[in-house]
């Protein structure tokens, strides 16, 4: 690839990523999955790593989050930046992070915890009272004041037991799968557009101008970081968690303290195995240095802290049994086959149907009624069939043919 082609590819990637950043952060309406977005970002980072002289200040790799929007409330300046985390996609990258920290620090501890799929929020307490709640916004300069909405979220403490002069925490606002199902049931009843997933719904709800809607939709929140404190010193992340729990705050409850790369991997696997049984969505596991002084020692870049990484799990897929293949006729007369299968939970919603496109697709997979199929959500929105587990095929199945007779006539 010559330099002209590299520049063209960089421009294309940056433009595409900016578009998806706007969809995700500002409009709460992503058009692609996190996994597909991560692949784009990985490609951009790879090219910029090979051609560092072509990195620009406005590149998505050099910026954090989206933009703060005025219609949701007053804009507030961040006291502490709400940076993103460095995403990694392999256990080898996690091991590199852990081992590098062990080499640089004196016997560090690592905390491994769930990465909640929601919207970041900073809570400010003065003399023990909640005074402000601020969204991430651009992550560095300012975010949106959504204090009135935060006051109606049951997980957010309005008053702390210990009245520190100043106490700021960061957490993730999310919507449980049960609450999300109720909201979409109501949307359907009213003939309104359904939300694609719990994260989109939570983000849009937190930015509502009417706090009554926020209260009705039953948002939840986990606190995952101490941002700043006056009146008391904290030595570590877990010490801050212990204090928060005594205040009645809801912190990330599934976390483990580890000392080796092997322990970190085991904790990541344990969290990954629980994904399907959790009442809320997670999209990864966060590995962070526990000691605050050691975090200061490692420092941060303009976009990410060097003391933490986020391991991203691959897209969620599940096996289920194909019960039937239904045929429908469109306005042009085209026949579309649809797989009907035993319901499974994917990306926070119940899925029991997926398109099979056409006869060629059915033939390619050799899919038959009664088969065990593997399903996933394209872009975490559209249910699709990935493959067939032919080893579990029951006896007596037959190839499925759409035929040349109209199923309606």
Q: Which residues are designated catalytic?
A: 115
The whole-angstrom separation of Cα 385 and Cα 353 is 9
**Residue in 339, 320, 327, 330 with CA at minimum distance from that of residue 382:** 339
The DSSP output letter for 159 is B
The whole-angstrom separation of Cα 330 and Cα 401 is 18
Query: What string of DSSP letters covers 127-143?
Result: TTEEEEEEE-TTSSSEE
**Residue in 166, 170, 152, 23 with CA at minimum distance from that of residue 82:** 170
Quote the distance between the C-alpha of residue 3 and its chain's center: 35
- The two tokens of residue 394 are 């029951």
Which residues, at least 6 apart from 143, have a Cβ–Cβ distance to it below 8 Å? 68, 75, 76, 78, 82, 122, 134, 135, 136, 137
Dihedral angle computed from the Cα positions of residues 69, 73, 75 and 80, in that order, rounded to the nearest 10 degrees: -100
Dihedral angle computed from the Cα positions of residues 381, 382, 383 and 388, in that order, rounded to the nearest 10 degrees: -120
- The two tokens of residue 180 are 């999300």
Query: What string of DSSP letters covers 276-288?
Result: GGSSS-EEEEEEE
Quote the distance between the C-alpha of residue 304 and its chain's center: 17
**Residue in 288, 245, 281, 275 with CA at minimum distance from that of residue 155:** 245
Contact 44, 61 (CB under 8 A): yes
- The two tokens of residue 98 are 């852990």
- The two tokens of residue 85 are 């985390």
**Residue in 294, 317, 153, 147 with CA at minimum distance from that of residue 221:** 153
């Amino acid at each position: 690839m010559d330099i002209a082609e590299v520049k063209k590819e960089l421009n294309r990637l940056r433009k595409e990523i900016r578009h998806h950043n706007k969809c995700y952060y500002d409009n709460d309406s992503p058009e692609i999955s996190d996994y597909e977005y991560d692949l784009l970002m990985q490609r951009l980072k790879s090219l910029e790593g090979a051609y560092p002289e072509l990195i620009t200040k406005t590149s998505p790799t050099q910026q954090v989050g989206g933009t703060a929007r005025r219609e949701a409330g007053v804009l507030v300046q961040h006291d502490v930046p709400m940076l993103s985390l460095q995403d990694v996609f392999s256990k080898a990258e996690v091991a590199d992070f852990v081992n590098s920290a062990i080499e640089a620090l004196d016997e560090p501890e690592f905390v491994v915890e769930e990465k909640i799929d929601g919207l970041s929020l900073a809570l400010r307490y003065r003399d023990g009272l909640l005074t402000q709640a601020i969204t991430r916004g651009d992550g560095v300069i300012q975010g949106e004041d959504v204090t009135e909405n935060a006051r109606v979220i049951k997980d957010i403490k309005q008053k702390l037991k210990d009245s520190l002069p100043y106490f700021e925490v960061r957490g993730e606002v999310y919507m449980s799968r049960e609450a999300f199902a109720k909201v979409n049931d109501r949307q359907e009843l009213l003939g309104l557009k359904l939300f694609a997933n719990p994260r989109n719904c939570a983000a849009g709800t937190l930015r509502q101008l009417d706090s009554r809607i926020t209260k009705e939709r039953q948002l939840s929140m986990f606190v995952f970081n101490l941002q700043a404190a006056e009146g008391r010193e904290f030595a570590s992340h877990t010490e801050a968690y212990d204090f928060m729990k005594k205040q009645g705050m809801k912190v990330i409850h599934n976390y483990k303290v580890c000392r080796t790369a092997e322990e970190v991997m085991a904790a990541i696997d344990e969290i990954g195995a629980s994904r399907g049984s959790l009442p809320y969505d997670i999209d990864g596991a966060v590995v962070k240095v526990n000691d605050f002084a050691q975090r200061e020692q490692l420092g941060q870049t303009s976009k990410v802290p060097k003391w933490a990484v986020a391991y991203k799990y691959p897209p969620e897929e599940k096996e289920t049994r194909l019960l039937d293949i239904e045929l429908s006729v469109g306005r042009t007369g085209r026949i579309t086959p649809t797989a009907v299968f035993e319901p499974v939970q994917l990306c926070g919603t119940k899925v029991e149907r997926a398109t099979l496109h056409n006869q060629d697709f059915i033939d390619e997979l050799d899919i038959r009624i009664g088969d065990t199929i593997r399903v996933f959500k394209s872009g975490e929105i559209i249910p699709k069939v990935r493959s067939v587990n032919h080893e579990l095929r029951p006896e007596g199945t037959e190839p499925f043919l759409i035929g040349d007779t109209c199923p309606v006539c």
